[in-house]
Amino acid sequence: MIKARTAKFQIGQVVRHRIFSFRGVIFDIDPEFNNTEEWWLSIPEELRPHKDQPFYHLLAENAESEYVAYVSEQNLLPDDSGEPIRHSQVAEIFIKEKGGGYRPRNPSLN
């Protein structure tokens, strides 16, 4: 029997990386790893997460830049800072909510 995994985080939620200093807003979720083997092997073995967990697509930012990140659930924590995400694509995909999170502009995309 296959054990179904429920994603811990949701689309529109602001999260931060457990090890590296970046944060972002989730715009898509894969129930398990769905990237290339080359990408997987580029992660140092001691940091390489398990493939059998949800992976999140983030509009991410750090102090220097904005980018799209693909991160395993085990490496994410909620970001409750209330600080907005400055990524240039956030306004295309989301509407900012008063509580600090984001709501998709087009709910049918989820």
Domain ranges of the chain: 13-104
Report the amino acid identity of residue 5.
R
pLDDT at res. 41:
95
pLDDT at 106: 82
What three-state secondary structure class fits 105? coil
3-class secondary structure for 38-84?
Answer: HHHHCCCHHHCCCCCCCEEEEEEECCCCEEEEEEEHHHEEECCCCCC
- Its pTM stands at 0.90
The pLDDT score that the predictor gives to residue 3 is 58
Residue 58 makes CB contacts below 8 A (sequence gap 6+) with 15, 24, 25, 26, 27, 68, 69, 70, 71
Of 58, 47, 55, nearest to 19 by C-alpha is: 47
Strand-pairing partners, residue 102, are 96
Mean pLDDT for each 10-residue chunk of the chain (110 residues)? 75 96 96 95 93 97 97 96 93 88 78
The three-class DSSP label of residue 92 is helix
